[in-house]
Amino acid sequence: MCPTSRSRAFNNSIFCADERPYTAFFIKHFVYPMSLASQPLTTQSTKPHAQYPHKYSVAPMMDWTTSECRQFHRLLTKKALLYTEMVTTGALIHGNTERFLRFSAAQEHPVALQLGGHDAHDLAHCAQLAQDYGYDEVNLNAGCPSDRVQNGMIGAILMAHAQLVSDALKAMSDRVDLPITIKHRIGIDDFDSYAFLRDFVGTVAQSGCTTFIVHARKAILKGLSPKQNRDVPPLDYQRVIQLKRDFPELHIVINGGIKDHGLAQDLLDQGVDGVMVGREAYQNPLLLLEVDKLFYQSADPYDTPEALNEVLIDWIRLKVASGTPLKYLARHMLGLYSGQAGSRKFRRHLSETMHPIEAPPDIFETALAFIKPIGFRGLQEYSE
Ligand SMILES: Cc1cc2nc3c(=O)[nH]c(=O)nc-3n(C[C@H](O)[C@H](O)[C@H](O)COP(=O)(O)O)c2cc1C
């Protein structure tokens, strides 16, 4: 998003000059649902049991959920809430703010900015920046286990400092009108009892934060890499479901290991307010095609794979024509049609040819020709 369109949140109708080519494209193919745009996007309702508007979200993933990735995902689901990668307060305050915060106002809403940090003043300042840039939510990362961020008191280590987190979230929500949310684990290291988790949420809720996104496994801060920390500690969905029972007035979103929508629906049926899907949405993006119908009772966005392909090709042509190198787009699309006949050839062709800075958009179309889509369902029935 360009600085001239910095306005308060929800001004989705403002397109700056470099976004104008997309306006017609999106009015034709894809318009951010105005029914949602006209609703206040706040989740910080004081009304107990207020309906949580974001039943389905795509997780923040560093280096993966870039702006281009989110724009691609938005072509697959109009409704899911999309999260940015984590950006630290230090990077925003001392680095290139515009580069970190720029996003496509035409294409990405609703979109949440995830912040990494612990200092209440800095976080409040960055929340203000997020609001000025037009984000729909600001989320604090209290789940990342990496050594590097731990040393800066960022991420999962914050779970050991509930009052600090509560004060920081309060400072953020005092500063802005946006919903302020938190994403955390069910515990860290030996602080892994349900009582610890419940006390953490209870203390943080005193800040006024009403949305807790809970990755249903603990983080082990010494000895496991971030990648291992996403697989090794066992998932415990029941702890997250219990949180919802103990805090019925809060919005509890569950995350971790959700690979199909049967499980997602099952978790929603057990009481949580939303599901957040990470790796599966990225690696098998066609999953997102089901979201609007299954979770929001909206129409399927496309009737046929051909209709989807036409939109993707148009989008890639527009983006490349306006200066985005093909690889910035296509690297997030390698999992498209994964499991269907021809998907490996599609992936190979793209990954071998997309890298030159001047790579033409036709490469994507040529790669798509390898796929023999059978439809959007029954993906596992085909092997190459
Ligand atoms: C490549 C990658 C980068 C990630 N980066 C972040 C991040 O920036 N912030 C965050 O809160 N979680 C991050 N995560 C964790 C995910 O948001 C999510 O909690 C985790 O992958 C579990 O969900 P899943 O099993 O659906 O993937 C990342 C995960 C992956 C795979």
**Domain CATH for 339:** 1.20.120
Residue 257 counted as an annotated binding residue = yes
Domain assignment present for 213? yes
Measured distance CA(350)–CA(202) in Å, rounded = 48
Q: Give the residue from 247, 263, 296 where a domain finishes.
A: 296
2 belongs to the catalytic site:
no
Same domain (yes/no): 285, 309:
no
Domain assignment present for 370? yes
Locate 239 and state its tokens: 């702890």
Measured distance CA(19)–CA(37) in Å, rounded = 19
Instruction: Give me the domain span that covers residue 145.
Output: 24-296
Check residue 372 and give its pLDDT.
84
Residue 255 counted as an annotated binding residue = yes
Pocket test for ligand 1, best of 230, 260, 277 (most atoms within 8 A of CB): 230
Q: Are 361 and 322 in contact (CB under 8 A)?
A: no
Same domain (yes/no): 292, 323:
no
> For 257-275, what is the mean pLDDT?
98
Same domain (yes/no): 186, 330:
no
Domain assignment present for 3? no
For the segment 277-333, what is each residue's pLDDT rounded down to a tens digit? Answer: 999 999 999 999 999 999 999 999 998 999 999 999 999 999 999 999 999 999 999
Same domain (yes/no): 260, 318:
no
> For 32-58, what is the mean pLDDT?
56
Please give the C-alpha separations between residue 292 and each of 53, 76, 79, 129, in angstroms, as whole numbers. 13, 9, 6, 30
Q: What is the mean pLDDT of the chain?
A: 88
Q: What pTM value is reported for the model? A: 0.90
Which range among 10-19, 209-218, 233-242, 291-300 shows the weakest confidence by mean pLDDT? 10-19
What band does 36 get if pLDDT is binned at 50, 70 and 90? very low
Same domain (yes/no): 116, 258:
yes
Q: Residue 86 C-alpha to ligand 1 middle, in angstroms? A: 10
Same domain (yes/no): 121, 258:
yes
Same domain (yes/no): 270, 173:
yes
Burial 59-71 (b: 16+ CB within 10 A, else e): bbbbebbbbbbbb
Locate 132 and state its tokens: 């000025």
Task: Write down the residue that tokens 């923040």 correspond to.
Answer: 60
**Domain CATH for 231:** 3.20.20.70
**Domain total of the chain:** 2
Q: Residue 264 C-alpha to ligand 1 middle, in angstroms? A: 17
The atom of ligand 1 lying closest to the CA of 155 is 11
Q: Residue 255 C-alpha to ligand 1 middle, in angstroms? A: 9
Same domain (yes/no): 239, 275:
yes
Same domain (yes/no): 274, 320:
no
Q: Residue 185 C-alpha to ligand 1 middle, in angstroms? A: 11
Locate 240 and state its tokens: 């997250």
Same domain (yes/no): 210, 348:
no
Check residue 15 and give its pLDDT.
38
Domain assignment present for 326? yes
Residue 278 counted as an annotated binding residue = yes
Domain assignment present for 75? yes
Same domain (yes/no): 215, 275:
yes
Q: Are 79 and 33 in contact (CB under 8 A)?
A: yes
**Cβ < 6 A, ligand 1 pocket:** 59-62, 64, 85-86, 114, 141, 143-144, 183, 215, 230, 255-258, 277-280
